[in-house]
Amino acid sequence: MTKPPGSSSRCSLAWPQLISGTLIQRYKRFMADARLANGIIVTAHCPNSGSMKGCCEPGRTVYLSRSDNPKRRLSYTWEMIRMPHSLVGVNTSVPNRLVAQSILDGCVASLTGYDTLRREVPCGTNSRLDIVLEAEEGRRCFVEVKNCTLVDNGYACFPDAVTVRGRKHLVELQEQVKMGHRGVIFFLIQRMDAKVFLPADQIDPEYGRELRKAVANGVEILAYDVRITLREIALRRSLPCEL
């Protein structure tokens, strides 16, 4: 398979130049105020539509990137937050790129043996799945990637808010399995302090029920954590899943 232009190697993505600050508040879901080291307060784009439960506490050190694009409303983007036991990546665009890179680099053993990788593939009715892998003989594997940042006592939990869209993706994966393709739900845990993955039934019991149904119907489940530093984020290890 061919790597996308500008991709990193070794199943990793390099961070852009990071600027540290102190989180003041996150608000309106997609905005966050932070105080930089020079005392200036800036507003950053928060690229995360979830609740960010457990990783948006005011007073924590955060890391921002800055864009010179004049068309952007906000120059800064919130990339990470430093929690007591790990840095945590909050940018939800990172998991899709990191998983795609890691598959191309052969770091996901169960997703090797395909010839091409495409992203953002239309499926079903008004739906898209993150990745499709295809082999010359016609084999296809559909992969939906989910960003997981909620960890409680070593348990990585998804979702951190009720997600109707997430359940829709599980239904679509089951449809692909019915048609004879592989379907994979891939939870990418953007932190290093998790030991086990499980669905967050206490937050969205419907999602948990649909996930168990999907697995019973042949959808495969993968959960990986990362190695995350101020230089890069890399796929690290597969975690057990408790359903």
> Where residue 42 sits, what CATH number does that domain have?
2.40.50.580
Q: In this structure, are 61 and 161 located in the same domain?
A: no
Predicted confidence at residue 184, as pLDDT, reads 98
Q: In this structure, are 148 and 216 located in the same domain?
A: yes
State which of 89, 116, 147 marks the end of a domain.
89
Predicted confidence at residue 7, as pLDDT, reads 47
How far apart CA 184 and CA 178 sit, in angstroms, is 13
Q: In this structure, are 105 and 85 located in the same domain?
A: no
Q: In this structure, are 144 and 81 located in the same domain?
A: no
Q: Which of 38, 4, 9 is nearest to 235 (CA)?
A: 9
Q: In this structure, are 73 and 155 located in the same domain?
A: no
- Identify the helix (H) or strand (E) that includes residue 114: none
Q: In this structure, are 70 and 98 located in the same domain?
A: no
Whether residue 106 lies inside any domain: the answer is: yes
- Each of the 243 residues of the chain gets a pLDDT tens digit; together they read 645 444 455 799 999 999 999 999 999 999 999 999 999 999 999 999 999 999 999 999 999 999 999 999 999 999 999 999 999 999 999 999 999 999 999 999 999 999 999 999 988 777 889 999 999 988 999 999 999 999 999 999 999 999 999 999 999 999 999 999 999 999 999 999 999 999 999 999 999 999 999 999 999 999 999 999 999 999 999 999 999
Q: Calculate ∠ Cα 104-147-171, nearest 5°.
A: 90
pTM: 0.94
| Contact in structure between 141 and 103 (CB atoms under 8 Å) | no
Q: In this structure, are 215 and 117 located in the same domain?
A: yes
Domain tally for the chain?
2
Predicted confidence at residue 5, as pLDDT, reads 41
How many helices and strands (H and E) does the chain possess? Answer: 3, 16
Predicted confidence at residue 8, as pLDDT, reads 55
pLDDT digits (tens, 9 = 90+) for 26-52: 999 999 999 999 999 999 999 999 999
pLDDT digits (tens, 9 = 90+) for 46-95: 999 999 999 999 999 999 999 999 999 999 999 999 999 999 999 999 99
State which of 72, 89, 106 marks the end of a domain.
89
Q: In this structure, are 118 and 161 located in the same domain?
A: yes
How far apart CA 115 and CA 50 sit, in angstroms, is 34
Query: Maximum CA pair distance of the chain?
Result: 59
Phi, psi of 209 (to 5 degrees): -65, -40
Contacts of 226 (CB under 8 A, 6+ apart): 89, 98, 188, 189, 190, 191, 192, 233, 234, 235, 236
Give the residue numbers spanning the domain of 37: 13-89
C-alpha to C-alpha distances, 83 to 50, 70, 80, 205, 225, nearest whole angstrom: 18, 32, 9, 27, 16
Predicted confidence at residue 127, as pLDDT, reads 82
Q: The domain that contains 192 carries what CATH number?
A: 3.40.1350.60
